[in-house]
Structure 1
Amino acid sequence: MTSETFKIQSGNNRSLSVSKFTPKIPNNKSIVISSATGVLQGYYFKFAIHFSTIGFTVYTFDYSGIGASDSDNLKSNTSNLSDWAIDQSNLLFFIKKENPNHKLTLITHSIGGQLIGLNPNIKLVDNIIMICSQSGYWKQFNGFNRFRMLTFWYALIPFSTPIFNYFPAKHLGLFENLPKQVAYQWRQWGIHPDYLLREANTRQLHFNEVNCNVLSISFPRDKFASKASVDWLTDRFTNATIDRRHIIPEDLNINDVKHFGFFKDTFKDSLWKLTEQWIENKT
């Protein structure tokens, strides 16, 4: 396989850094990976390289204000989560135009699956795999994880963001720093029982436009995506054919996966193989 990195234009003069992994012998199937919040696309490169070596054309990207996508002037970056959904949407359009005859699979991690609801081009995909994609509403969590989410929405974001003029996630030992409007909109979702559905008051949501196969995966002991929170988001896809799996690692004789483990090559012969077989069966 070969790889290249380039930029495409998104809305409001935003430029997205995109990496493309091209197989030596293509199978006429493309994958795009939509990252978790504040996670650089490089985190998914091993996964992308693996799938490219077995025939898939794979794309990763950084949302606006993250990594190589216009993050140099974070304090002046005005992107919000609705813009991130347009980033996802515009990349799908680009990929479908570049590979019109390919079957296109969208693989989302965490917030990537939430952005589907605000993505006007979601009908371009042929199937969707959601990894730990969930509601972030704090009452969807139990015990200490509920307290953690409550603290995140009501303390960390509102108190630290005005000081730095962006959300200083790196300083807090979390993930990449976020544009302030991303953080503020995310907080508004997280304190509301309907989470991103509150956006329905101002714009059309697109969950009901998804009528393809959707595989939604979660794992026990995930601090950021409880089973209940993943169930909630999966239930938004009312017109899709849902394959919902809460995978117990012990049943597969694998190590704990939690929120970030799925894309580690430790799981190449288990979870990655499951993913490959599911895509092959659905396309």
Structure 2
Amino acid sequence: MTEPLGLDINTPLGHDLNLTVFKPQISNHKSIVISSATGVLQYYYFKFASYFSELGYTIYTFDYSGIGKSNPDLSHLKKNNIDLKAWGENDQTAVVTYAKSQNPNHKIIVITHSIGGQLLAFNKSMPQIDTIITVASQSGYWKHWKGFERFRMFMFWYIMIPTLTPLFGYFPAKKFGLFENLPKQMAFQWRSWGKRNDYLLSDFNFEDLQFKNFNKNLLALSFPNDEFASKVAVDWLAKQFVNAKVDRRHILPEELGISDVGHFGFFRHQFKDSLWKMTHEWIEQHS
């Protein structure tokens, strides 16, 4: 693997997105685009990206508009009016399109973490995608959780976002040790979905979304003890890909002889010989 390359690409909406490209020494003619969880920096996925680059994949990570290296500073964040639809229709779409333009003969694999899978609903580059893997990608409807997790989700949608976002001009997630700060319109739209049992379908007609346009292989992964992606919430999103060949797996750690995975564990280096190896084998068989 060569040294990762950082670069900015301009998007149709006119703002720049920061990408990091991991190029292998010998290519297997497959590219992977990693679409992050909400407010998670692309840096979090670098070890995962390096591992797959060493196997021959070209990897693209990126920060959504308003996040990390795709946000100049706090003053710009306060002026940022991008929403979730644009994160998918503009940002995620732009990265997939760029990846395909750089290697037109490559198979394109999109690996999503959490909200990254939801954004596929708006990804206009869906015809360019050959394979999808969703990792703990889910509906955020608060009643998909039980007990304390349900209470926590209720507080998040009904108290924290509507109270703090107007006060700061953005959602100040970092002040609570949650994740990166979020653009205000993105946070408001996310909250609107999370309050309703049909989630993003409360805002959009299914026929206008991209879910139905993917008819290839999709692996949908979830794990027990995931406080941000319950099994039923992941089931809901997987079912939206009505024409895909969905391989739905709720993985019990004891099946692989590994420790608990939770919402963020999949991308940790400790799982390179288990979950990462399994993922590589699945891609080889299905793309």
1:82 maps to 2:85: yes
1:42 equivalent in alignment to 2:46: no
Aligned length: 283
How far did residue 201 of structure 1 move?
4.5
Question: Offset at 1:143?
Answer: 1.1
The Cα of 1:204 is off from its aligned counterpart by 1.6
1:244-277 C-alpha deviation (Å, 9 max, x unpaired): 0000001111010000000000000000000000
1:94-116: CA deviation from partner (whole Å, max 9, x where unpaired): 11111110011000000000000
Q: Which residue of the partner structure matches residue 9 of structure 1?
A: 10
Separation in 2 of the partners of 1:158 and 1:71?
Answer: 25
From 209, 225, 228, the equivalent of 1:224 is: 228
Compute the TM-score of the two structures, normalised by the length of structure 2: 0.97
Q: How well do the aligned residues superpose, as a CA RMSD in angstroms?
A: 1.1
1:71: how far off? 4.2
Distance 2:72 2:202 in 1: 28
What TM-score does the superposition give when structure 1 sets the normalisation length?
0.98
Q: Which residue of 2 aligns with 1:206?
A: 210
Q: 1:203 to 1:10 in 2, by over 3 A?
A: farther
CA distance in 1, matches of 2:145, 2:121: 22
AA in 2 matched with 1:186: W
Shift of 1:11: 2.9
Q: What 5-or-longer segments of structure 2 have no aligned partner?
A: none
Change (3 A) 1:32 1:202: closer
* AA of the residue aligned to 1:38: G
The letter of the residue matching 2:241 is F
Structure 1 stretches of 4+ with a deviation exceeding 6 A read none
Distance 1:101 1:12 in 2: 27
Contact 1:35 1:110 in 2 (8 A): yes
Q: Does 1:247 align with 2:241?
A: no
| Paired residues for 1:85-124 under 5 Å | 85=88, 86-124=90-128
Structure 1, gaps ≥5 residues long: none
Percentage of matched positions with identical amino acids:
57
After superposition, what is the alpha-carbon deviation per residue over 1:219-263, rounded to whole angstroms, capped at 9, x for unaligned? 000000000000000000000000000000011110100000000
Residue equivalent to 2:284: 280
* Distance in 1 between residues matched to 2:23 and 2:281, nearest whole Å: 20
Match of 1:262 in 2: 266
